[in-house]
Amino acid sequence: MNLMYNSTRDKNVKVTASQAILKGLSDDGGLFVPESIPALEVSLDALADMSYQQVAYEVMKLFLTDFTEEELKNCINKAYDDKFDTKEIAPLREAAGAQFLELFHGSTIAFKDMALSILPHLLTTSAKKNAVSNEIVILTATSGDTGKAALAGFADVDGTSIIVFYPKDGVSPIQEKQMLTQRGANTKVVGIKGNFDDAQTGVKEMFNNKELAERMNKAGYQFSSANSINIGRLVPQIVYYVYAYAKLLKNKKLAKDEKMNVVVPTGNFGNILAAYYAKNMGLPIGKLICASNENKVLFDFFQTGTYDRNREFMLTSSPSMDILISSNLERLIYKIAGNDAKKCADFMKALSTAGKYEITSDMKEQLEDFVGGYATEEATAKAIKRVYDEEGYIIDTHTAVAAQVYFDYVAKSNDTTTTVIASTASPYKFTRSVMNAIDSKYEKMTDFELVDELEKLSKVKVPQAIEDIRSAPVLHDIVCDKTAMQDTVENILGL
Ligand SMILES: *Cc1c(COP(=O)(O)O)cnc(C)c1O
């Protein structure tokens, strides 16, 4: 029997995994969610002896039930290969009393590679399975890291093209250069005059535009999404929580069935939702600690039960978390509303009209495993310096938000549970903020001088992704107003 997927906003929608991956977003604007969350079938002991690829298969086959074993293994083997600079794919590093799960060893040195190196394969396999002949146009909004990882994943993939929108003034210089130097005849990168939420809203509007979809179809195109609203992004992210637990078990850092906590630096709520799904599959996870930067809409939500985006949007040193509308929270809301699509749709309507909604006390009770925390800019910089001073280990700004929230949580709760911190980017991606946090003497250096200094301090070799952009030519220069995103897409596609 196939596991089917429903929409969070319409209980009558029911599609297979491959159809959900192809569509990205349901026609009603809802997100696809599995009818139920499957339980792990193999024991944690057995998982402890498996490679990353093997764990990936054991987890993903439970969600993507309409893929054959051969199809899925093929996708996994093409994704998790030597594009990653370590065989472990997601190694653990113990420091500052926690286990840092390094999710940045893929080709664009951010955790988005964990899912975006496999999504193109899942998508092209899904297209074949469903006899789709249109070219699939991947439309993506990025706060900096998804864009590059999606571009790298889809560049020159037959039957696809990709258009990425990013906030022109809202990403780090290295993030921007990584995107603007992207090769591949099927890639387009567009800066918008607006923030990430504007980009994400613009993309969602195009997905929901039926008239546009019809014209696209006539011209031989259809949209899909590489954002974490696509279930094909979320499922691969569950894998590394299972893998991390299994490795900690193997290394005797955890005893059998002992719980682990996770701390996740959060923006769109995709990464932490994957941990929540892992917990629901039976992985012994205790607390799910959701770390925000100064855009602390999620912290307030866990505190009060009210989600309220009516506030000033802050640009911080952890730009990939500068988000006020965390799309994947919708999947959690749906679940704690008892899989009630009507109720979920009402909350989302309130969010788009009034900018806020308040969940019921029944729903709030189901959030007791979540802990919200946030770190100010100053505290984030201090966390980088503290971990460097104590351990000689250099973490990026996003990971530092999580580390600071972890330090605060432990101080307050005295909870000594073994804790995994999702380490979501290489410090090389946010060199300036990282180096300034360590010493103010770096302020006057250029970006690439800082890269060399970081190498000296961290004793971690400069990643290939950074070497690649030192001399690479800029190949993209489209900038548009946030209201002109659809016109830009129509121009690019010649509609
Ligand atoms: C995307 C991203 C995040 C936020 O992850 P979500 O799944 O959107 O919550 C955190 N850190 C980095 C470096 C990222 O690229």
Q: Ligand 1, closest atom to CA 271? A: 7
Residue 36 lies in a domain: no
pLDDT value of position 246 = 98
Please report which helix (H) or strand (E) contains residue 160, including its range: strand 160-167
Residue 442 lies in a domain: yes
Residue 324 lies in a domain: yes
Distance CA 273, CA 391 (A): 30
pLDDT value of position 489 = 97
Residues 430-462: tens digit of each pLDDT: 999 999 999 999 999 998 999 999 999 999 999
Nearest by Cα to 89 from 77, 104, 108, 76: 104
Q: What is the per-residue DSSP string for 244-303? A: HHHHHHHTTSS-TT--EEEEEE-SSSHHHHHHHHHHHTT--EEEEEEEE-S--HHHHHHH
Catalytic site includes residue 112: yes
Distance CA 98, CA 300 (A): 25
Residue 391 lies in a domain: yes
The CATH number of the domain holding residue 343 is 3.40.50.1100
Number of alpha carbons in the 13 Å side-chain half-sphere of residue 257: 0
Residue 260 lies in a domain: yes
Q: φ and ψ at 99, to 5 degrees?
A: -105, 110
Q: From the CA of 70, how far away is ligand 1's center (Å)? A: 31
Can you tell me the mean pLDDT for 84-88? Answer: 97
Residues 149-174: tens digit of each pLDDT: 999 999 999 999 999 999 999 998 88
Residues 213-255: tens digit of each pLDDT: 999 999 999 999 898 889 999 999 999 999 999 999 999 999 9
Distance CA 314, CA 293 (A): 9
Tokens of 61: 């086959």
Phi-psi region at 268: left, alpha or beta (left = phi > 0; alpha = psi -120 to 50)? alpha
Residue 18 lies in a domain: no
pLDDT value of position 337 = 97
pLDDT value of position 1 = 84
Distance CA 259, CA 262 (A): 10
- Which residues does a 6 A CB cutoff place in the pocket of ligand 1? 110-112, 145, 228, 265-271, 320-321, 398, 424-425
What residue's CA is closest to ligand 1, atom 2? 320
Kindly state the DSSP code that residue 186 receives in the 8-state scheme.
Answer: T
Residue 430 lies in a domain: yes
Q: φ and ψ at 91, to 5 degrees?
A: -75, 155
Residues 23-45: tens digit of each pLDDT: 999 999 999 999 999 999 999 99
Instruction: Say if residues 147 and 225 touch (Cβ distance below 8 Å).
Output: no
Q: From the CA of 218, how far away is ligand 1's center (Å)? A: 36
Sign of CA dihedral 95, 101, 104, 106: positive
Tokens of 346: 């009402």
Instruction: Say if residues 90 and 103 touch (Cβ distance below 8 Å).
Output: yes
What residue's CA is closest to ligand 1, atom 14? 320
> Of residues 112, 204, 287, 335, which has the active-site annotation?
112
Which of 271, 273, 298, 331 has the most ligand 1 atoms within 8 A of CB, as the residue to mutate? Answer: 271
pLDDT value of position 173 = 87
Residues in the chain: 495
Q: Ligand 1, closest atom to CA 237? A: 7
Q: From the CA of 142, how far away is ligand 1's center (Å)? A: 10
Q: From the CA of 425, how far away is ligand 1's center (Å)? A: 8
Instruction: Say if residues 311 and 258 touch (Cβ distance below 8 Å).
Output: no
Residues 288-329: tens digit of each pLDDT: 999 999 999 999 999 999 999 999 999 999 999 999 999 999
**CB environment 438-448: b (16+ within 10 A), e (fewer):** beeebeebebe
Q: From the CA of 210, how far away is ligand 1's center (Å)? A: 30
What is the reported pTM?
0.95
Query: What percent of the chain is predicted at pLDDT more than 70?
Result: 100
Which of 398, 431, 433 has the most ligand 1 atoms within 8 A of CB, as the residue to mutate? Answer: 398
Can you tell me the mean pLDDT for 205-213? Answer: 93
Nearest by Cα to 85 from 457, 466, 452, 473: 466
Distance CA 225, CA 404 (A): 32
Kindly state the DSSP code that residue 100 receives in the 8-state scheme.
Answer: E
The domain tally of the chain equals 1
Does pLDDT of 199 surpass 90? yes
Average pLDDT of the chain? Answer: 96
Residue 254 structural domain: 92-106+232-461
Residue 495 lies in a domain: no
What residue's CA is closest to ligand 1, atom 8? 268
Q: Ligand 1, closest atom to CA 228? A: 7
Residues 350-398: tens digit of each pLDDT: 999 999 999 999 999 999 999 999 999 999 999 999 999 999 999 999 9
Sign of CA dihedral 434, 168, 149, 47: positive
Can you tell me the mean pLDDT for 207-211? Answer: 92
Q: Ligand 1, closest atom to CA 274? A: 7
Distance CA 74, CA 120 (A): 12
Q: Ligand 1, closest atom to CA 399? A: 11
Q: From the CA of 236, how far away is ligand 1's center (Å)? A: 15
